[in-house]
Structure formats: structure tokens, C-alpha cells
Amino acid sequence: MGGSYEDDDEDHDNMITERSWEAISTLLCNKTSILETYNSNHTLEDLGYYFEGDTGNDLVPYLELNENKNKAEVARQKILQTHFSDDDDTSSNIQELLDMELEVIPTAIAWIGRPVSCWKGRSVSGLSTMYNLMRRLPDLFDLSPLKKQAGTKRRET
């Protein structure tokens, strides 16, 4: 009969290794690039009652983010929090934005500045990222006519 289901000894308490939890963390938010973060899983909300330890706790913010039904906002928050947080050196990621085609940049700016909708998880506004972007691309935000022309010229060249 085997009866393996009865072997509830203490050894089975921690059957998920640290590496496995890391894999789940990557599933929820792949930090290797903005695109990979965007393509992460934004659906999984709950890992049951039995995940513990530092890695397990690290997963909680991602699981909470995933509770938001607006999955575009989930992806946005993960990208902002992972690649443009105040704690990190964001210059390389800002450069990624600067390297975009000029036609795309207004869309990116709108994406960064989108208002945060009401929801439970931790959220960032994107205003810090907007500030950093403005510092690097002042021409784009200057409303004076001359600067506007300069912007047009830059586009033509």
C-alpha cells in the first residue's frame, strides 16, 4: 500500500528550495530588462499559506500588484518599481527612453505620467522618472516658440 501520505514528518516542511522561490520571483517580475518585466506573469495572486523565508516575503509585493485587474497598470508598476525606482541608478534606463524614436517619446511620457488608479498594492506615481526625463530632454518640455522650432529642427536632422 505504501502509505506515503502518512509520512508527515518535519523533513517535509521546507520542500521548496531558495532557488525555486527565486524562479517564482522571476516568473512574477523578471528584472533582466524592461521588456522581460513587461512579459512577466501578471495573473498569479496567491501562493497559498505556506511560503516563508526572505525570498517568500519578497514575493508578496508582486502578488499584491497582480491583484489589480488592470494588467497594463500592473506591468507599468513593475517596470517603474524595478527599473526606475529612486533607490537605483536609473540613468541607463532613462537612456533607453532617450534612444527611442522621437515619435514614440510622447507616448512614453504619457505612459510614465499616467495617474495611479486606486488599488491595494504599493504603487509609484512615475513623477520621479518624469523629472529625470525632463532633465535629460529639456527641449521636449520647453513651451517657448524658439525652443519648439529647435525641437522641430532636431527632428528633421
Partner 1 sequence: MADANNQDDTKSLREAYKTLMIGDTTNQQDYDMDNDGGNVDDISDVDSVYDYDSRDDLDFDKNIFLRLKQNDLTITSTNIVLFTDKDVRCFNSIDWKEDGDCIANNTHLKKLSIILGPYCERQQLRYFFSSVHQNRSIEELEICTDHIDKEFGVFLIEGLCGHCSLVKLIIRRCENLGSIGCIALGKVLSYPKSKLKDLRLAEYELDDDGCKILCNALVGNSTLKKLRLSSNYHITSIVGLSTVLRHPNCTLTNLSLSSNGLNDEGLNVLGSALSGSSVRVLELSYNLSISSAGWRTFLNQLSHTSVHYLDLYSNKIDDSGLSTLANISTLKSLNLADIKLCTPAGWRSFFNSLQTSEIQLKKLVLSGNNIGDSGAAALGSSLSDMHTLKILKMSNMTHSYSRSINNMTSRGWVSLFTSLHGSNLDLVKFDFDSNQIDDEGMLHLLRSVSNMSSMKYLDLGHIHGVTAIGWRQALVGYLQVANANLNLVYLTANQINDEGMELLVRTLSNMSSLKSLCLGSNRLVTTVGWQALTDYLQSPNFALEQLHLCDNEYSNDTMFAFTSALSHNKTLKLLSLGGKL
Question: Segment contacting partner 1 (CB under 8 A): 20-28, 104-112, 129-137, 140-148?
Answer: 20-28
Closest CB 68 distance from partner 1, rounded Å: 11
Fill in the DSSP letter of residue 4: G
Of the candidates 137, 66, 127, 134, the residue with the CA atom closest to the CA atom of residue 99: 137
Size of the site for partner 1 (CB under 8 A): 33
Contact call for residue 34 and partner 1 (CB under 8 A): no
Binding mask 73-112 for partner 1 (x = CB under 8 A): ----------------------------------------
Contact call for residue 55 and partner 1 (CB under 8 A): no
Helix axes 53-66, 71-83, angle to 10 degrees: 140
Of the candidates 65, 74, 29, the residue with the CA atom closest to the CA atom of residue 45: 65
Give CA separation, 1 vs 4, 5, 6, 12, 100, in Å: 9, 10, 11, 20, 64
Q: Which residues bind partner 1 (CB under 8 A)?
A: 1-5, 7-8, 12-17, 19-20, 23-24, 26-27, 39-41, 43-51, 118, 120
